[in-house]
DNA sequence: AGATGAACATGATGTTCATCA
DNA sequence: TGATGAACATCATGTTCATCT
């Protein structure tokens, strides 16, 4: 079984977990946050990718969903994500696994460069 | 337009160019060489991927194809790849471009780790 | 039997569109 | 009107199969 570099989906889930650790936010904000931080590296995922990743985390039992009115403006409703009871533990484990894959990806990139550039 | 990490296809073409620089080889050997070198990093592309990448290089006008009998054993015919007249120049340019993408990928991985761990 | 490559299948991600409050 | 998400399309890659010597 082949595993090239880490997948975008995994990285998005990683960012989402980190955001949820820090403060409650909703889909559109997650998207804008990632895009503005990573744009300069060419990384700018599409909007549905964020929701797919959020649904993954929900299906994995890591987060709960809660509809909530957006504070300041009119009647706009947003979906807020928080960790489930054991979600934070699961999330920490998941982050560890992703870290291993990130490290492996770095090692692979280094090897590719070493093999092909003097 | 989103560009996450560098694509496997580009990396395979990079290895092929480096192999062709060093010595003439054919498809199956390219595959075995990459797999044996990169297996420990989880990178183990499939056999048709090698041929697709070789056809890319051919379509790009970087290499020529030559049918040749495999030296030692029976009547086995293999396809040998060599640089075209201006192929080596093109290949060097291509390697530079890939190097930029590899560097960008390393930077992005570093940023992801920095953003999400301790 | 080993090498090459076509055809097909799957997976990852993006684009477009609908819905809801 | 902004947020959410479904449906659809495309691209990257893998699996299976055929062919040729």
The pTM of the full predicted model, rounded to 2 decimals, is 0.93
Return the closest-CA partner of residue A14 out of A101, A104, A98, A100: A98
Which residues in chain A touch residue B109, judged by CB atoms under 8 angstroms apart?
Answer: 6, 102, 105-106, 109
Which nucleotides of strand C lie under 7 Å from a protein CB? Answer: 1-7, 12-16, 21
Distance CA A21, CA A81 (A): 10
Distance A48 CA to D9 C1' (A): 14
Q: Cα dihedral angle (B87, B89, B95, B97), rounded to 10 degrees?
A: -110
- Given a contact cutoff of 8 angstroms between Cβ atoms, the answer to whether A33 and A25 are in contact is yes
**What are the tens digits of pLDDT across the range B15-33?**
999 999 988 788 899 999 9
Which residues, 6+ apart, have CB-to-CB distance to B23 below 8 Å? none
**What are the tens digits of pLDDT across the range B55-108?**
999 999 999 999 888 776 667 889 999 999 998 999 999 999 999 999 999 999
Which residues in chain A touch residue B97, judged by CB atoms under 8 angstroms apart?
Answer: none
């Amino acid at each position: 079984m082949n595993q090239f570099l880490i997948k975008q989906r995994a990285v998005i889930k990683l960012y989402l977990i980190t955001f949820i650790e820090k403060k409650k936010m909703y889909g559109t904000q997650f998207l804008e946050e990632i895009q503005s931080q990573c744009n300069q590296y060419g990384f700018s995922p599409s909007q549905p990718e964020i929701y797919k990743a959020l649904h993954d985390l929900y299906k994995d039992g890591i987060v709960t969903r809660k509809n909530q009115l957006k504070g300041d403006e009119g009647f706009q409703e947003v979906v807020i994500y928080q960790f489930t009871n054991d979600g934070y533990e699961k999330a920490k484990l998941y982050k560890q696994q992703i870290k291993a894959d990130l490290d492996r990806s770095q090692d692979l990139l280094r090897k590719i460069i070493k093999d092909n550039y003097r």
